[in-house]
Amino acid sequence: MNVLVLGSGGREHTFAWKIAKSPICNRLFVAPGNSGTATIAKNLEIGVNDFQSIKKAVLKYDIRMVIVGPEDPLVRGIHDFFLNDPDLNNIAVIGPQKAAAQLEGSKEFAKEFLVRHQIPTAAYQSFTAHEIEKGYAFLETLSPPYVLKADGLAAGKGVLIVKDLIAAKTELKQMLLGSKFGAASAKVVIEEFLDGIELSCFVLTDGENYKILPTAKDYKRIGEGDTGLNTGGMGAISPVPFANEALMEKIESRIVAPTIEGLKTDKLPYKGFVFIGLIVVNNEPLVIEYNVRMGDPETEAVLPRLNTDLMEIFVAIKEQALNRIDIEVNPKTAATVVLVSGGYPGSYEKGHPIKGLESVENALVFHAGARNDGDKVVTSGGRVMAVTAFGNDYKAALSKSYQAISNINFQGMNYRKDLGFDL
């Protein structure tokens, strides 16, 4: 069948790379794609939220399955758009419907879901601009540091952790009254701070059955030792060394199974990835947040570890037959290091040539903020490349990734050299 992947980042290049290996896939399209996807698929100059143009492309190229990479089109209801259109309603879409996508689209919706289904999470309250004084009062009941989350989508940057009460009140004011994160912070969720170690758990569901994919740990901050500003992600390691059998048993029984059951109970139609952001406190897992798609850069570490044909898995999701699939996983550790533009996550330049890609050995290079410019590949975004390598443990895998990176160069190139420091 002909397949379309929506998105332009490293996550989508990884999806395309994996799908291109499948005998089930006939022609592969990526919209809008990047310089990496251009080598294995046909890129279509279409934005991920341009539903009408996506429809035209699906009909023109006889596309039978659409894999949605980023969260925005899911929250805007692309799956519903397909279901409600007689020309499209027989096309398989991998990604939840709009109502279920609110698990990522609204922090408050997610928290209410967690509480309703008795899934462990941090205590919280939410506030609008009219309730700012109540927000101040709630902050005073908590111990520092203070966690403030913009309710809506803020491209992974709408979460603040503030150590000082006065600073927390100032940030709350800027979010609610100063539109610090635009419409995303019209409502703010304040929650208690949990002190522990984080990991990501990825689950596939067809709406009835589920499969747990390999765990990963990502590193969000720009600076060494997890300092500085939040980014879209500076690297990831899969599996997480501390996610032993006993912990995974707790995660499945207390979090994954009730989540899938909760979706069914609440009649939230879901075919796709559930990304559960977790924190482990005193060996007990709690949910920090849900995302309704794969993470980035976690995808670049998780998907290369799957030995099973990804298209077989997607077809099983479409047919609600995920229970018939055994997912085989490479036991080796994968480590992904993200190369970013100088100045990122602040302002940065674009258009710098990327050199040395052809010299990389023993590693996979997934393009993200990169495009073709004639016969050159040039930077076009903040997160430019994700370099993934395998090893018997995370240290060996990271060593290979860093070795591969020594061949790559572009003006202003920056990356974290301390991934795995907390493991």
Q: Of 191, 207, 241, which residue sits at a domain end? A: 191
Residues 31 and 92 placed together within one structural domain of the fold: yes
Cα gap 70→81, rounded to integer Å: 16
Mean pLDDT, residues 198-216 taken together = 97
CB 117 within 8 A of CB 262: yes
Please report the pLDDT score of residue 230 as a whole number.
87
The answer as to whether 330 is a domain residue is no
For 37-46, what is the mean pLDDT? 98
- Asked whether residue 113 is domain-assigned, the answer is no
How many domains are contained in the chain? Answer: 2
Q: Residues 95-118: pLDDT tens digits? A: 999 999 999 999 889 999 999 999
**pLDDT band, residue 154 (cuts 50/70/90):** confident
Of 104, 177, 195, 187, the closest CA to residue 148 belongs to: 187
- Per-residue pLDDT tens over the stretch 18-41: 999 999 999 999 999 999 999 999
Are 212 and 199 within 8 A, CB to CB? no
Average pLDDT in the 322-351 region? Answer: 97
Residue 237 CA to residue 119 CA, distance in Å, equals 26
pLDDT-derived band of residue 156, with 50, 70 and 90 as boundaries?
Answer: low
- The mean pLDDT value of the chain amounts to 95
- The CB-side HSE value for 140 (13 A sphere, CA atoms) comes to 6
Q: Which domain holds residue 87?
A: 2-98
Enter the pTM of the model: 0.92
* Least confident interval from 179-193, 212-226, 374-388: 179-193
Neighbouring residues of 416: CB distance < 8 A, sequence distance ≥ 6: 219, 222, 223, 224, 234, 235, 337, 338
Query: Is residue 245, in this structure, part of any structural domain at all?
Result: no
Give me the CATH number covering residue 174. Answer: 3.30.1490.20
SS3 214: coil
Residue 163: count of CB within 10 angstroms of its CB: 10
Q: Which of 98, 132, 148 is the last residue of a domain?
A: 98
CATH number at residue 62: 3.40.50.20
End position of a domain, from candidates 161, 191, 221 = 191
Mean pLDDT score, 281-306: 96
Residues 372, 320: Cα–Cα separation, whole Å:
39
- Same structural domain, 25 and 84: yes
Regarding whether 129 and 45 lie in a shared domain, the answer is no
